[in-house]
Amino acid sequence: MLIDARGNACPGPVMMADDALSKMEHGIIEVIVDSEEASLNLQGYAAQNGMAAEATREGKDWKVRIVKGYACAPRSASGPSALGRGEDRSILMIIGTDVLGKDEELGAKLMKGFLETMKVHKQVPQTLFFLNAGVRLTTTNGETVPLLKDIEAMGVEIYSCGTCLKHYDLESSLQVGRRGTTNHIVEGLQDFGKVVWI
């Protein structure tokens, strides 16, 4: 199967590959991308999911070949390693904003892309805690709520700050996860192997 992912911003090419591969028990796909970064992301995705991948440069583009489900498939020696697989995922991630960076429009796209990448790479924390404007991601943001429901289905505990929900008048709008308190953060500083703030 050939997938032309040129012109798609990150994590688009990986999501296209994941969608195609999820529909087959075993097989081979080839993804054409127009940046080395996209090529490396696809190779990393393959390695993290136990698949072989190799990339070749073709003019201005890259073709990434991903092999799924064949026990004899060789692992790509040059692609990114699957670091993180099997490691302790005792991570509390605190998201205190609904955008990444200062530009609101770009920041909203980046936040959605961040959550999509987390989902497609299956690199998720144990717990996500949303506070301040971050609670909009679990309530009124129609693009992030479905992503977060998928992430929750992967076993991630999701909490939204109750005080923040009340402040933004969103207490009745919570669509994913549960209401939480700052106790989750304070206790998390001791209970989790790593705490990540965004």
Per-residue pLDDT, 152? 96
Domain locations in the chain as residue ranges: 2-68, 91-197
C-alpha–C-alpha distance, residues 133 and 141, integer Å: 11
- End-to-end Cα separation, the chain, in angstroms: 38
The fold for domain 91-197 equals Hypothetical Protein Ychn; Chain: A, (3.40.1260)
Match domain 2-68 to its CATH number in 3.30.930.10, 3.40.50.300, 3.30.110.40, 2.40.30.110.
3.30.110.40
Interval 81-132: pLDDT, tens: 333 334 444 899 999 999 999 999 999 999 999 999 999 888 899 999 999 9
**Sign (positive or negative) of CA dihedral 51, 56, 58, 61:** positive
Tokens matching residue 137: 């991601």
Give yes or no for a contact between 183 and 189, defined as CB atoms under 8 angstroms apart: no
pLDDT digits (tens, 9 = 90+) for 154-197: 999 999 999 999 999 999 999 999 998 887 888 888 888 899 99
pTM > 0.75 = no
